[in-house]
Every structure is written in C-alpha cells, then in structure tokens.
Amino acid sequence: MKPDVIQLTKDIVSISSVSHQSNTIICDLLEETLKRCEFEVERLQFIDQEGKTKISLVAKKGAGKGGFGMFSHSDTVPGDEWAWDAFSPAIKNNRLIGRGSCDMKGPLAATIVAGASINPSQLNKPLLIIITADEEISGRGARQVAEESVIFNSCRPMHGVIAEPTQLTPVYAHKGGARIVVTAYGKSAHTSTDLGISANFLIAPFLAEMVEVAKLCKTDESFMNYEFDPPTNGFNMILDDGGCKPNVTAAKTICTLGFRPMPDDRSQDIIDMVTEKAKKYDFEVTSSQGQPFYISPEARIVQTGLKATGMSKPSTVPFGTDAFSFQDSLELVILGPGNIEQAHTVGEYIEINQLFEAVKVYRKMIEMLCIQ
Ligand SMILES: [Zn+2]
C-alpha cells in the first residue's frame, strides 16, 4: 500500500530523532517504507563524537545515470518537551503539530510519497531520495553521502531538490555560515590577592573594535548583497569566560564571532580583518567558513521548480541547508512545504495543505526530470 503523507509524517514525528541521539530507529522505519515503495536502499553509518550511531539513507528507483534526487534530513533540534508535547503529533486547525513537522519530517514524507507514486518502469532516468543525519549540528551525514555513497556516486544525479521549508517557493541562493573564535588567556586568582590577570580586561579593547566591525557590516554596502532579505550578514558576537565569579579574575575568555556570508559580500575580508585585529593583541584565533549556496535563477532545476509550483520568480533565503555539501555535484534548488519561521519553535507545525501540495509539486518535478 502506498504511504499517506499525513500518516507518514505523524509516524516519523512520533520517533524522536534529536541530533544528539542515535537516529537508527527512525531510519529503520524510513528504510522499510522506502523498500515497500520499490526503492533500493543504501545505508551509510558513522559514529558521532558522543559515540552515537548515525545513519544516512540513499534510495534509488529506476536504472541508468543522471536523473533527479530529493534531499532531506532525519534529525531535529531538541524537543523542549518541558513546554509542549513535542513527540505526540496532533492535527488541529488544518495543521500537523510536532517537533520536526516543518523542519523537516513533513517535507521528507512528501518526497517519499511523491516517489512512491511512480512506477519504476515509467522512469527513463533514476530517481533518488537522500536522507542525511546530523544536518542540524555538523552536516556530517551529507558529507558522508557525497563522499561515500555507492548509489549517489554511481548515478550522479544531474538535478536535485533540497526539501527544506520554503512555502513551496523555489529558492536559488542562501547565505553561508562563518565563525571566528578568538581566545584571550589571563591568570586566575582570588581578587583579594590582586595577583590575577583578567582575560576579560585583556580582551575588552578587541571587543570595542568588534563594535566597529559590526557597524561596518550594517552600513557599508560592499559587505551586503541585495539579492537577500535582509541584505546584511547578521554579524554577531558571544562571550564565554567560563562563568567566572565576581571575586575571581578570568583565566580565559572566548569571543565567538559569526556571520552569514553571501556571494560577492567581501566575507573573506571580514575574516582577514578580524583575524588581524586578534593577532595584534596576541590572542589565539581560528576561523571557518561554510560557503553560501548559489545557482543561476535561469538554471534548468530552478525553472523546473517554477513550472511545478506555477510561480513566476524564484527567491533567496537567509538560512543554510545541506546544499553546501552537494552543490558541487549537481544542480540544486531549495523547495519544500512549510514556513521556516515554524522551524525550531515550541509548537512547531506544518499546514496540511502544504504537505498535499508538496507531493504534487515533487511528482511534477519527477515527471519533468526523469520521465519526459
Ligand atoms: Zn532543516
């Protein structure tokens, strides 16, 4: 029997798969469902830093090379169960409520139900469903699929959809994620001895310089990109002195700066500028940068998304996705049911209509990319 999108979403929302847990139980159910829908399924596994087993699934229907892949992740952010019944999915006012309903178990269920409706003999090119682990924390599942999956690397799908919630608007670009970690070392002592050196005082002049960088990011248009809303990079700073007490000098203060790189926004200049300022004070500094996602709005996959949804113009979003790991391998569009504002909230929900609509949209995309 073909799965029902509402029932399947409820089934997988009711299995907690918060990123810090193992996701084997939900993946067992998804694997069995995919096999029932005539998909061949590959399981990839790694052990995370906490020793938990993490599974990603790559499923295929139809033979040959190229074709179309539908991408989602099986992990969620924590349930915050103290505030609501996160893992007991409920339907109210045409909404399906529960942790992950929107980000992104509902969208994931819609890809499976759309794929299930296709008879393998109809396919001229293969159809893939890719479900990654740990998207919310490290993206490691996606990297493993890109590097190690036999099905993914032998089919080499040409086109793909990342099913993250965009209210079914095709999205051709999203911001990346950059992080700079600056550490100042002082000397811990009880203030009664006055022998300590506070890392907080050491780092303070540097922090004042970061206020200026933050202002620059908000005012200088060369650090912005008006294809995005907002066009600014969200430059932010958090501080950690280890919860130092008022009568002790801080031994170590860590300043973490983050922002969201966009194409042509001088993000490397920001990293270089901050790194240089930190080195001037002899602080320890490390940085990393997740690239933004960008594809031409004219690309075939974006145009296919527009045709399937009946929309006239693609959009951009400010949040990141697994597209980082896959954009070098194939043409991608981000397109899924639900509103990202629901993601990670207490009371998270997805509109039922969006789920039904998504099944139709994915079905049309499969027809355009794998059948015609
Ligand atoms: Zn997501």
How many angstroms separate the alpha carbon of residue 98 from the centre of ligand 1?
A: 14
Distance, CA 337 to ligand 1 centroid (Å)?
A: 12
Ligand 1: distance of its center to the CA of 347 in Å? Answer: 16
222: pLDDT strictly greater than 80:
yes
Same domain for 322 and 338, yes or no, is yes
Q: Which of 324, 163, 188, 321 is nearest to 244 (CA)?
A: 188
- Domain check: are 9 and 105 in the same one? yes
Q: Which of 241, 271, 290 is the last residue of a domain?
A: 290
- CA 220 from chain center: how many Å? 28
Domain carrying residue 278: 176-290
Residues near 322 by beta carbon (within 8 Å), at least 6 away in sequence = 71, 73, 132, 135, 139, 142, 162
76: CA distance to ligand 1 center in Å? 7
CA–centroid distance, 136 to ligand 1, in Å, is 7
Same domain, 309 and 359: yes
Provide the pLDDT for residue 324. 81
Residue at a domain's end among 266, 290, 314? 290
Q: State in Å: Cα 178 to ligand 1 middle.
A: 18
Structure confidence by residue, pLDDT tens digits, 345-364: 999 999 999 999 999 999 99
* Residue 129 bridge partners (DSSP): 59, 70
Q: Give the distance (Å) from ligand 1 centre to CA of residue 209.
A: 34
CA 103 to ligand 1 center in whole angstroms: 5
Residues 10 and 151 in one domain: yes
Query: How many alpha carbons lie under 13 Å from residue 204 in its C-beta half-sphere?
Result: 7
Region 90-101: mean pLDDT is: 97
Cα 104 to ligand 1 centre (Å) = 5
One domain, residues 37 and 156: yes
- If asked whether residues 210 and 308 sit together in one domain, one would say no
Q: pLDDT grade, residue 211 (50/70/90)? A: very high
Residue 90, pLDDT > 80, answer yes
The end-to-end CA distance of the chain, in Å, is 26
The enclosing domain of 65 has a CATH number of 3.40.630.10
CATH code of the domain containing 213: 3.30.70.360
Average confidence (pLDDT) over 23-31: 98
Whether residues 100 and 220 fall in one domain: no
User: Quick check: 209 pLDDT over 90?
Assistant: yes
CA of 225 to the centre of ligand 1 (A): 23
Sheet holding 349-351, edge to edge: 90-92, 95-97, 349-351
Neighbours of 85 (CB within 10 A): 13
User: How confident is the model at residue 42, as a pLDDT?
Assistant: 98
Chain segment 248-270, per-residue pLDDT in tens: 999 999 999 999 999 999 999 99
Question: Could you tell me if 114 and 70 are in contact, meaning their C-beta atoms sit under 8 angstroms apart?
Answer: yes
Question: Are 148 and 30 part of one and the same domain?
Answer: yes
147, 54: one domain? yes
Rounded to the nearest angstrom, the distance between the alpha carbon of 121 and the centre of ligand 1 is: 32
**281, 300: one domain:** no
The helix/strand/coil state of 362 is helix
Give the chain's domain count.
2
Residue 224 has pLDDT above 90, yes or no: yes
| Residues 262 and 353 grouped into a single domain | no
Out of 261, 290, 319, a domain closes at 290
Ligand 1 geometric centre to CA of 201 (Å): 39
Report how far ligand 1's centroid is from the alpha carbon of 278 (Å). Answer: 34
Q: Are residues 206 and 338 in the same domain?
A: no
Could you check whether the bond before residue 70 is cis, i.e. omega within 30 degrees of 0? Answer: no
pLDDT in tens, 168-200: 999 999 999 999 999 999 999 999 999 999 999
Is the pLDDT score of 343 beyond 80?
yes
Distance from Cα 164 to the centre of ligand 1, integer Å:
6
Collapsing DSSP states into helix, strand and coil, what is residue 144? helix
- 105 is written with which tokens? 């178990």
For ligand 1, the distance from its centroid to the CA atom of residue 319, given in whole angstroms, is 9
Confidence of residue 101 (pLDDT cuts 50, 70, 90): very high
Q: How far apart are CA 372 and CA 367, in angstroms?
A: 6
Q: What is the pLDDT of residue 86?
A: 96
Task: Look over the chain and give the mean of its residue pLDDT values, rounded to a whole number.
Answer: 96
